[in-house]
Amino acid sequence: MSGLRYCASAGCLARGSGALMEALNTAISRGELGDQIQLRPVGCLGPCSQGPLLALDPDGDLYAGVDPQDAETLVAALARRLHQSSDQATPLEWAPARGQRLDLSEPFFQRQRRIVLEHCGLIDPTDLEQAIAVGAYGQLERVLQGWSPEQVVTELQRSGLRGRGGAGYPTGLKWATVARMPGARKVVVCNADEGDPGAFMDRAVLEGDPHRVLEGMAIAAYAVGADHGFIYIRAEYELAIERLRLAIEQAVDRGRLGAGLFGTGFGFTLELRVGAGAYVCGEETALIASIEGKRGTPRPRPPYPAERGVGGRPTLINNVETFANVAPILREGADWFAAIGSAGSSGTKVFSLTGHVRRGGLVEVPMGTSLATVVLEMGEGSPHGSAVKAVQTGGPSGGCVPADQLDTPLDYESLQALGTIMGSGGMVVLDQSTDMVALAAYFMAFCREESCGKCVPCRAGTVQLHGLLEKILAGQASHADLDQLETLGAMVMDTSLCGLGQSAPKPMLSTLRYFRGEYLARLEAP
């Protein structure tokens, strides 16, 4: 048998993996031994900037930028090898006319450790049987048949897993809090409202291995005593929505979701809720309001969602990547997971590496890996002979790390000390051509537009801050304006109601901290 896996995630589809698939299909059905060549769609294979990507089994080779016109010769080479010997380990005698075979010994691949993405790129995300064959829902079954909910919570706590959505709150502690709440009708919510511009980790997980997320949610429901769940996903992710709808349907049909799972009394039902374009809905109380069919405005906490969430019921909210970590933690054990990464930040983190970088895409590395490793080694630095100036993490809620601090390890505390955050995993590389004041103005415009308008500091403050930044960009600002920018920024951070306003000034303050000269150079002479 030979196998061809083509990436059917949004990035490669846009780069023509659909046409490649059709050409391969035609060539396979026309040629000899077609029944021994299996062609299937899979999730993200990694280096998106080189798509469309095609992987070959059993060799494990990865080809980049393959043209549909190469399909004939590839299928012919596979048939030749199948003819010649039963030993499929002989290297394939084939090279694409366009595109190339990627060198898997390069840092981009070698430095990765795939836990969340372990099956992404290996299985057909639209085929539940393939997911089950690699263990999907196996941990749910094991837990339901032999573990108490308390044991599950304890295992999660011991693993040291922290929320992958941005803030890094200890997941086990959150589960324990919801589990302690009275009431039999609790709710589990998956936050898939991946709104940070430049971030696409959750999209890749949902498109490539949706059952992994559903299993994590079902295990969480058992642990905290919930019977119903919602996945709240942004409407822009059409393919991910389609895959999730299908996955939920399949899981219900095969008895992996619904009532009386695996012959026990435990049942869990799941609904998909599609957002409608509002960044603030990534904030948990706004997200709850949106699930309830209302305007997505946040409310003060407490009460926290753990106490009063969807429909007033105790609610557990975790993000996509957090849920995707649950099954491997239970399978391999909390000690195994805690040993990966760094002290205080265990496990791995998925990043979407984009911007001015030679090799971009989806990478999963152990926590504590340095930014330099990811950006300079794996991403191979900036293209066109330019040098890296800074790396932006955490989107509109984060900040930038200047080039001279790239040896910083990627963990929650180290990034916070630099004035940015881990965030959900967006990592945008900026080269020397980047205007940092313009970037600050860009993020402020984003927050101004996405402010829900409920609290004054955020509603009015972001408008004022953006106005001041525009004034600086136009070369019409004075030193007094710069002072006001900083004072007002601090005030908006301290007094806004929710995370959007509290972090809106961060990209600006971060560029002021490291690139103050760019601001000063634009001020009017006193």
Partner 1 sequence: MATASAPFAALEPLLLRHHSRADALIEVLHGAQQCYGHLSDPLLRHVAERLQLPLSRVKGTASFYHLFRFQPPARHRCVVCTGTACQIQGAPALIAAMEEDLGLKLGARRGDGWVSLSEVRCLGTCSDAPLVQIDDSIGRQQTVAGLRRWLQELEP
Contacting positions for partner 1 (CB under 8 A):
10-11, 14-15, 48-49, 51, 194-200, 203, 235-237, 273-279, 290-297, 311, 352, 354-356, 360-361, 392, 395, 426, 428, 430, 434, 439, 442, 446, 452
Nearer to partner 1, 180 or 295 (CB): 295
Q: In which region does residue 411 sit, left (phi positive, over 0), alpha (psi from -120 to 50) or beta (all else)?
A: beta
Cβ neighbours, 10 Å, residue 449: 10
Q: Which is nearer to partner 1, 28 or 48 (CB)?
A: 48
Side-chain half-sphere CA neighbours of 73 within 13 A: 12
Of 193 and 411, which has the nearer Cβ to partner 1? 193
Based on CB atoms, which residue is closest to partner 1, 113 or 203? 203
Got the DSSP string for 389-435? EEEEESGGG-EEEEGGGTT-B-SHHHHHHTT---TTSEEEEEETT--
Query: Please, which residue, 68 or 296, has the CB nearer to partner 1?
Result: 296
Q: How far is the CB of 156 from partner 1 (least distance, A)?
A: 29
Toward partner 1, which CB reaches closer, 327 or 427? 427
Tell me the C-alpha to C-alpha distance, in Å, between residue 12 and each of 322, 378, 447: 25, 20, 30
Q: Judge whether 485 and 511 are in contact, CB under 8 Å.
A: no
How is residue 68 annotated by DSSP? G
In whole angstroms, the minimum distance from the beta carbon of 52 to partner 1 comes to 11
362: exposed, middle or buried (Cβ count in 10 Å: 0-12, 13-18, 19+): buried
Which of 513-517's residues contact partners 24+ apart within 8 Å by CB, and which partners?
513/399, 513/419, 514/390, 514/400, 514/402, 514/436, 515/390, 515/402, 515/436, 515/437
Instruction: State the minimum distance, in angstroms, from the CB of residue 152 to partner 1.
Output: 29
Measured from the CB atom, the residue of 223 and 427 that comes closer to partner 1 is: 427
CB of 14 to partner 1, least distance (A): 5
Non-local (6+) Cβ contacts of 32 within 8 A are 79, 83
Q: Minimum distance between the CB of residue 388 and partner 1, rounded to whole angstroms? A: 12
Cα separation, 287 vs 191, in Å, equals: 8
Q: What is the closest distance, in whole angstroms, from the C-beta atom of residue 333 to partner 1 in the complex?
A: 34
Find, among 201, 251, 254, 248, the residue nearest to 44 by Cα: 201
Nearer to partner 1, 241 or 306 (CB): 241
Q: From the CB of 127, what's the least distance to partner 1, in Å?
A: 23
Phi, psi of 169 (to 5 degrees): -70, 135
Judged by beta carbon, residue 352 or residue 502, the one nearer partner 1 is 352
Q: Write down the least CB distance from residue 486 to partner 1, Å.
A: 23
Half-sphere exposure of 269 (CA within 13 A, CB side): 3
- Give phi and psi for 45, each to the nearest 5: -100, -5
Residues in the chain, total: 526
Q: Which is nearer to partner 1, 325 or 392 (CB)?
A: 392
How many other β-carbons are positioned within 10 Å of the β-carbon of residue 260? 10
Task: Kindly state the smallest distance separating residue 428's Cβ from partner 1, in Å.
Answer: 5
Taking the complex as a whole, the smallest distance from the CB of residue 9 to partner 1 amounts, in Å, to 9
Beta strand pairing call for 315-319 and 186-192:
parallel
> CA gyration radius for the chain?
24
Give least dist CB 311 to partner 1, A: 8
Query: Which run of H or of E encompasses 460?
Result: helix 456-473
SS3 call for 214: helix
Nearer to partner 1, 289 or 330 (CB): 289
Inter-axis angle of helices 149-159 and 171-180, to 10 degrees?
150
- Give the whole-angstrom CA distance, residue 48 versus residue 76: 27
For the CB of residue 339, give the shortest distance to partner 1 in the complex, in Å: 32
Beta carbon nearer to partner 1, 196 or 215: 196
Contacts from 332-338 at CB under 8 Å and sequence distance 24+? 333/155, 334/155, 334/156, 334/157, 334/158, 334/159, 334/160, 335/158, 337/159, 337/160, 337/161, 338/158, 338/159, 338/160
Task: Report, in Å, the least distance between residue 108 CB and partner 1.
Answer: 13
The SS3 of residue 255 is coil
- Minimum CB distance to partner 1 smaller for 167 or for 239: 239
**Min CB(47)–partner 1 separation in Å:** 8
Which is closer to partner 1, CB of 168 or CB of 361? 361
